[in-house]
Structure 1
């Protein structure tokens, strides 16, 4: 059996600001025997920005040729080549090409390592203001309406925070579908153009975000959605709902947002929480 002597390097690339490039990225691109890039034109702009010139062979590695090119790259790795894989932005294999190559390389005993780099998933999650202790990444929702709704319903009861990628052309439809399936009051954040000049984080209940996006959204989009509420919360009494709103208000949140957040967390209509707050106020409680 041939002993693999090469190494596969998954190299993270900036998701927006070139200054975020990992220090090792330029070194790896220069030293590689083969650089496999999702888009060779994007790679050329990246290397020019970093001021480096790859000494090895540059090949394309994208969704259309991933299956055919994987065996070729694995054979080079087995023969001792240092292959660096880069995608257009972020970490390879995270909703980008790479998984097939990693799996094939591991099966042949090839060492696989990484140059850690920026990640839209983690950046959006950190900026969202939503719970980050437990989360799951759902990638891109299906394009077709029926399939999208089916996929969303599959995770409607998921307690962990959900992270999605979405096209600017479909984000309005996706947010509307999320509001329909998860509830209009479920908290979410739309993260647009992360680390770029026009970076924007739009936070709020899904119903409001869907209305906002209806006018059109530009740029690269990551959507973060709060996990499903504890079903036990649905039995909360009016007194507890009012208490939770007050806690949020005392922390600086506006009453309207506090009511929406409490309703979403408890799995009850906003009107129910609003009425409880008004009744408590009228009662002098």
Structure 2
């Protein structure tokens, strides 16, 4: 099997990191000055309430275990990996939707939240998956005349993306077989696509892979899959507010927009609890403020 299949089924790739410039955090307008003090009670209240996204208790345990892990698992500590592994195994025992490949809930666009490191990491895994500023998605569409699994690395809104497509076949209620057949980079600064440097037709069986879905939530929000290289993937269709906020902080993009979204979604539901503000806080992000003495 192709080594790159360890990363959501990506084929191997030479390092493209050198041709990409990392996105920089966008300037934050003056209306966000001083918003740091508003952020903490919002986060505190989200620990107890999940109004935007509905999870069962074992799913929430997985989400909580993933909160704060950088690089989709590449920078996780041994303790974090242990907690995620336990949460994953618990959900796989719960089972979720039976025969997930036959369910319409598996269809759509999934964001990769976490992946374990396989024994042999492919070049694309080393280059892209551990970079916080890149987003990785997988589109699954099996009920069409041309069933496909498409893996997408989104570099940023300003740069563009890499899209690798594979023809897909349902083997059984759990397994999807796929064969890569086309791929290309799309850059915002170029009027044409840049071909992916892998000759799929010449790879033969090396362009093939499979993906098992071991858990699909009844809500259709969380999916756990295992690839042919033994790698585990955790994917979500919809992120809960804390995840959105911390992912935005990690990537340095649209942080102010996400803060606005979180505050707007909860301003009618949250009653400030002063006791929730007590304790020691770690500053994870700050806009430039007019009064630099705030934290002196």
> Under a length normalisation based on structure 1, what TM-score does the superposition of the two structures give?
0.24
- Which structure has more relative contact order (CA 8 Å, sep 6+)? It is 2
Kindly name which structure, 1 or 2, has the bigger radius of gyration based on alpha carbons: 1
Using structure 2 for the length normalisation, give the TM-score: 0.24
